Amino acid sequence: MDSYDAPLGDMRFLLHDLGLLHSVNTLPGFAEASPELVDAVLDEAARLAAGRLAPLNLAADRAGGARMENGTVRTADGFAEAYGAFVAGGWNAVPFAPEHGGQGLPWLVAIALQEMWQSANMSWALCPLLTQGAVELLQAHGSPEQQAAWLPKLVSGEWSGTMNLTEPGAGTDVGALKTRAEKAGDHYLIRGQKIFITYGEHDMAENIVHLVLARTPGAPAGSKGISLFIVPKFLLDDAGNPGARNDLRCVSLEEKLGIHGSPTCVMAYGDGPGAVGYLVGEENRGMEYMFTMMNNARISVGLQGVAIAERACQQARAHARERVQGKPAGGGETIIGHPDVRRMLMTMRALTEATRAVTYDLAAMLDISRRHPEAGWRSYGERRVALLTPVVKGRCTDVGVEVASLGIQVHGGMGFIEETGAAQHYRDARIAPIYEGTNGVQAIDLVGRKLLRDRGAAALEYVEEVHALINGMNPREEADIAAIRRHLAPAVDALDNATNWILDAGEAHMIDALAGATHYQRLFGIVAGGAMLARAAVAAMDMKAAGNGDAARLEAKIVTARFYAEQILPQAPGLATTIATGGHSTMALPADLL
- List the catalytic residues: 436
Q: Each residue of 304-317: b (16+ CB within 10 Å) or e?
A: bbbbbbbbbbbbbb
- What lies within 8 Å, CB to CB, of 523 at 6+ separation is 494, 495, 498, 572, 575, 576, 579
DSSP 24-71: HHTSTT-TT--HHHHHHHHHHHHHHIIIIIHHHHHHHHHHTS-EEETT
- What lies within 8 Å, CB to CB, of 571 at 6+ separation is 526
- What lies within 8 Å, CB to CB, of 593 at 6+ separation is none
Q: Compute φ and ψ for 338, nearest 5 degrees.
A: -75, 130
Task: Tell me the CA distances in angstroms from 13 to 4, 8, 96, 326, 539, one per residue in order.
Answer: 19, 8, 25, 37, 9
163 has which bridge partners? 211
Closest CA to 497 of 574, 558, 403: 574
Closest CA to 259 of 58, 432, 123: 123
- What lies within 8 Å, CB to CB, of 142 at 6+ separation is 150, 151, 230, 280, 281
User: CA 583, CA 594: separation in Å to the nearest integer?
Assistant: 16
Closest CA to 384 of 531, 517, 498, 512: 531
Question: End-to-end CA distance of the chain, in Å?
Answer: 42
User: CA 25, CA 32: separation in Å to the nearest integer?
Assistant: 7
- What lies within 8 Å, CB to CB, of 488 at 6+ separation is 466, 469, 470, 527, 530, 531, 534, 565, 569
User: CA 567, CA 573: separation in Å to the nearest integer?
Assistant: 13
- 477 half-sphere exposure, CB direction, 13 A CA radius: 1
Radius of gyration of the chain (CA): 24
